[in-house]
Amino acid sequence: MAATIINTDATASTSQGFVDRFDTFRADLDDYNDRRERLIKASRDITNLSKKVIFLLHRIAQGNLEPNQDDEALAKDAAQQGYAKLREVQELYSRLRPELQGDKFWRYQRQISPGLQEYIEALSFAHYLDKGTLITFDEVQKTLTDPEGIEYFPLTISDYLLGLSDLTGELMRFAISGIAHRGGRRKAQNVCAFVRGCKADFERWIPYVRELKKKQSVTSQSLEKIEDAAYAIMVRTSEYDLSPEMLDDIVAQSISSYRDTSRQAVGRGRGDDLSDDEDTTN
């Protein structure tokens, strides 16, 4: 009888041990899922904020010049306002530091990577407008540290390169949309050379960074669009022996006339379609 009691106690103790162990597993899984959801939400917020900064940079950098203000001063003003808005993103990353301590960063890297790449894209765009150069790896990492120099989390080479690769698309929009402004021809040529250099430098990293090959194809398309626009403007302006300022005015007028003609053609096309519909109905 005593032996039976002992065996029963041992069985109960073993069963309780299994229950406790599975309770620990359940707690770990719940913590993983909760943390993952928080990081995904934070990454989406960071992505949205970064996109707003990019729109802000485009809007200010392509705005109207004030008296006695050149396009470089306008670009620097846009960059400073972009830096100020990006501090909101940096504040979000500072709050995420407890969630990414130790090896947790590598466990949840896929959840924060999309937002981080969008942040790098916005930051590098502001840096280009400010200094006309490519932001370095150390400069990006410095923005993700506290005042004591402690990193919120380690920046990876892949996120850095993929974020910079996205920058080329914004530079294409920046060059083409501003080509009709005063100094836009020179700006487009500078951006073209810059994007061409970025594409060449990124090529060597394709074997080591996943998704970079796909983004390089997009960079090639962006570069081709800039080259086509710059080449067309250069060919047209070579027909005139005028000062650069007057050539800029001619380019602006030509593009403005082209846009007006395109709108009228679209309007006529819609009107013709409507008339055809009415005739068919009658």
Q: Look at residue 269 and tell me whether its pLDDT is greater than 70.
A: no
User: Percent helix, strand and coil across the chain, each rounded to 5?
Assistant: 80, 0, 20
For residue 151, what are the β-bridge partners?
145
Range(s) of the domain holding residue 182: 156-260
**Is 90 exceeded by the pLDDT of residue 122?**
yes
| Mean pLDDT computed over 207-222 | 93
Instruction: Read off the pLDDT band of 268 (50, 70, 90).
Output: very low
**For tokens 């002992």, what's the residue?**
6
Judged against a pLDDT cut of 60, whether residue 207 lies above it is answered with yes
Structure tokens at 217: 């194809």
The answer to whether 53 touches 120, Cβ cutoff 8 Å, is: no
8-state DSSP, 64: P
Q: Tell me whether residue 275 is in a domain.
A: no
- 136 & 240 share domain: no
Instruction: Report the residue count for the chain.
Output: 282
pTM tops 0.75, yes or no? yes
Shared domain check, 133 and 36:
yes
- Alpha-carbon distance of 179 to 173, in angstroms, equals 10
Q: What is the mean pLDDT of residues 92-104?
A: 91
Residue that terminates a domain, selected from 125, 155, 185: 155
C-alpha span between 116 and 42 (Å, rounded): 10
**179-191 per-position pLDDT tens digit:** 777 677 788 889 9
> Does pLDDT of 282 surpass 70?
no
Query: What are the tokens at 43?
Result: 């990454």
Q: Could you report the per-residue pLDDT of 24-52, keeping only the tens digit for each?
A: 877 878 788 888 999 999 999 999 999 99
